[in-house]
Amino acid sequence: MINPFDYFYYKIYTAWYWLCGGGHPILFQHKFVVWAVYGMNILTISTLIAIAGKSLSDVFIESSLFFLLVIILVFYRPKREKKIVEKYSRESRKSFGIGNAIVVFYVIITIISFIWVTKHYRGV
């Protein structure tokens, strides 16, 4: 069974691994990318809720993003990170390509929706 959060983390990890020229990703850079994408999702959803007329304080948004960062840094510690990489590194070539396409599509949709929502956000 594929855990979508772990799989997304694995894909970001392997992309960062490739960008580092085959070396281990430096510090928490790949974790920051995961946090940024999840953070954009939280901001997009909370802004849509605010546009729909529901009240949502900025404190909730900021604390949610901070909490999410802490969870990612704690949950994806090096020992767990190694297990995730080992689990998904045995995927077939076809599955690897499909997984990459899904993750790229997810990141593009996340960025586009975030830009659209923030562009149309008028101080709600």
pLDDT per residue over 30-80, tens digit each? 777 888 888 888 778 777 777 666 665 665 666 777 777 777 777 777 788
Please tell me whether the overall predicted TM-score, pTM, comes out greater than 0.75 for this model. Answer: no
Listed by start position, the domains of the chain span 4-120
At 95, the pLDDT band (50, 70, 90 cuts) reads confident
Q: Which residue has the higher pLDDT, 9 or 69?
A: 9
Instruction: Tell me what percent of the residues of the chain surpass a pLDDT of 70.
Output: 77
Closest by CA to 37, choosing from 85, 60, 4, is 4
CA neighbor of 99 nearest in space, from 11, 16, 26: 11
